[in-house]
Amino acid sequence: MVYLSEDYKKAIELRKKGLSYSEILKYVPVAKSTLSLWLQSVGLSKKQKQRLTEKKLASALRGAAKKREIRIQKTKDIFQNAAKDILNISKKELFLIGVALYWAEGSKEKKEHPGSGVQFSNSDPYMIKLFLKWLMEICAVPKEKIDFDIYIHESHKNNIKKVIAFWSERTGFPKEPFRHVYFKKNKINTKRKNTGGLYFGLLKVKVRASSDLNRKIAGWIKAINKYYWGMV
């Protein structure tokens, strides 16, 4: 009981000096619930409260920084391990990748608009580059038959030369095929992150006189469906 009394006095003394519960527990070996009960009537000065608030904030920031560091390292490890699953890509695999890409993002022929050609749209330059590789290597489309349309918000009209240069560099095509630029007038979503210097709009890849190729791709997609689901 004597030790408890000494612990109590020590806790009160330290609290009056403005120490936090975690700091007091380093000197007073009791349960946190007991300490809370002892100190519930001990007031703190404005300066002491400010110190504890700043200390909590600093602790929270350190905790957040540590979590971020752990998350970044964990993500890096996951990426490195995942990369081991794809050491090479065969021509057959590239063929299937391209079909799946077109199935997701390509323009399909509609009954009311027969004869439409191959068109593929996306804002991801790596996906565009992979699709172009597929077009030229798998579908044997000559580079000269490929054109591009750029769709970008009208607020970026002054950056159009920079945008064309970006897509030209990323695709490996000269700037001439990027002659068609369309400006969108809808209101920009202010929550989007790819604005300012990181915004290069959406690129549409078009193949001239390619209605038969579009139908062939549709046939590949149907064949995949038939293989898995028996759908024709």
Whole-angstrom Cα Rg for the chain = 32
CB 110 within 8 A of CB 121: no
Query: Are 53 and 124 members of one domain?
Result: no
pLDDT in tens, 56-102: 888 888 888 999 999 999 999 999 999 999 999 999 999 999 999 99
pTM value is: 0.73
- Domain coverage including residue 33: 2-79
Pairs from 5-11 (Cβ < 8 Å, separation ≥ 24): 8/38, 11/35, 11/38, 11/39
16 in any annotated domain: yes
Where a domain ends, among 34, 56, 79?
79
Query: Are 175 and 119 members of one domain?
Result: yes
pLDDT in tens, 39-50: 888 888 788 888
84 in any annotated domain: no
Query: What pLDDT, on a 0 to 100 scale, did the predictor assign at position 195?
Result: 57
Q: Cα(57)–Cα(154) distance, rounded to whole angstroms?
A: 43
Rounded to the nearest 10 degrees, the angle between the axes of helix 160-171 and helix 125-137 is 50
Query: What pLDDT, on a 0 to 100 scale, did the predictor assign at position 131?
Result: 98
Q: Two tokens at 44? A: 């703190």
Q: What is the DSSP string of 25-72?
A: TTTS-S-HHHHHHHHTT----HHHHHHHHHHHHHHHHHHHHHHHHHHH
Query: Are 30 and 96 members of one domain?
Result: no
